[in-house]
Amino acid sequence: MSGAGAISAFRERFGGSEDTDALVSLINVAFRPEQVAIEGDRINAEKLQPLFSEGRFILLEDHQGLAGCVYAEVRGKRGYVGLLSLRPALHGRGLGRRLMALADRAGARVLGAYEWGLGDKTKKANAALAGIGGTRRILVSDTMLAEYSDDEIEVVLAHEIAHHVHGDIWKGIVFESALLVLGFYLASVVLRAAAAPAGLLGVDDVAGLPLLMLAAGAVSVVMVPVAHAMSRAFERSADRFALNLTRNPNAFISAMRRLAAQNLAEEHPSRVVQWLFYSHPPIRDRIAAAQAFRAG
Ligand SMILES: [Zn+2]
């Protein structure tokens, strides 16, 4: 997981019949490799039309327009997911297929990999698992697609799949919610204790709001390192999973070196800096773990 911004880079919405033309051309372009076996186009407006009432199209858009789509339909007691289509930039490299093969090996069903447009905003490279339930997807930044080797991208995808297989998004949501409740509780304890000495009428006195903010701030200073420590544990286990799945520590190490150089990561952060700011283990530690894996 690479944090906030992953979901907002793409706008998602449900498709309607007004999207027919854009969908037909995207799906046909995306499925072109199959046309060795299939005569003609994968789909046309007539075949697409009934799907708008039978199921739902989820569309992903970026500044260039329609970037991807997937179709979901409930058939009896089962869900059907199909017509996963991506802009050709992602397909041409065989990444979609490679990803689905990885997902199979991992026993996970991942909706798809999507190109994540960062190039015009930053030189940083990134990949992320985003969404929950039916909107789950793996995002790979265009900056990463352009500069990383396929082996390196595969190992990064495997890392993101690990987050999916381990249910890290859900664990994170539950953990952070629990922290939030605990934080509010502690803040209320502080407020109750401080109300009388501070000359407030009670805990519900509006004049106590600054005190509440102060207490909440103090609590979060303590809680954030706890959340980061959990996140780093998730990341270490996702790295182990990626190494086991790909058996390619060399690609892992070179991907880490690229990430560090591109994202200007500090290779030797101090302990305190780690506690306060690091949701991922330092690159040096991640590389050391891969070297240990390589050594067997
Ligand atoms: Zn991660």
139 & 256 share domain: no
15 & 140 share domain: yes
156 close to 147: Cβ distance less than 8 angstroms: no
Expressed in angstroms and rounded, the spacing between residue 235 Cα and the centre of ligand 1 is 5
Helix (H, G, I), strand (E, B) or coil at 204: coil
Residue 36, pLDDT score = 46
Expressed in angstroms and rounded, the spacing between residue 165 Cα and the centre of ligand 1 is 12
pLDDT at residue 130 tops 50? yes
142 & 184 share domain: no
Confidence of residue 22 (pLDDT cuts 50, 70, 90): very high
71 & 185 share domain: no
pLDDT at residue 257 tops 60? yes
Residue 2 maps to a domain: no
Please report, for residues 15, 53, 72, 154, the alpha-carbon distance to residue 50 in angstroms, rounded to integers and kept in the order given.
13, 6, 13, 37
Residue 183 maps to a domain: yes
Expressed in angstroms and rounded, the spacing between residue 255 Cα and the centre of ligand 1 is 13
Which of 86, 116, 147 is the last residue before a domain boundary?
A: 147
Tens-digit pLDDT profile for residues 218-236: 877 888 888 889 899 999 9
218 & 142 share domain: no
Expressed in angstroms and rounded, the spacing between residue 281 Cα and the centre of ligand 1 is 10
pLDDT at residue 49 tops 80? yes
Residue 163 maps to a domain: no
Residue 5 maps to a domain: no
What is the spatial distance between Cα 286 and Cα 269, in angstroms, rounded to a whole number? 13
Confidence of residue 115 (pLDDT cuts 50, 70, 90): low
What is the spatial distance between Cα 285 and Cα 253, in angstroms, rounded to a whole number? 11
Domain span holding position 236:
168-294
- Regarding pTM above 0.85, the answer is no
**Structurally, how many domains does the chain consist of?**
2
Expressed in angstroms and rounded, the spacing between residue 190 Cα and the centre of ligand 1 is 35
Tens-digit pLDDT profile for residues 69-105: 777 655 544 445 566 677 766 555 555 555 555 545 5
90 close to 101: Cβ distance less than 8 angstroms: no
222 & 178 share domain: yes
Residue 156 maps to a domain: no
Residue 265, pLDDT score = 64
21 & 134 share domain: yes
Q: What is the CATH number of the domain that holds 76?
A: 3.40.630.30
67 & 189 share domain: no
Higher pLDDT, 202 or 286: 286
pLDDT at residue 238 tops 80? yes
Residue 154 maps to a domain: no
Residue 132 maps to a domain: yes
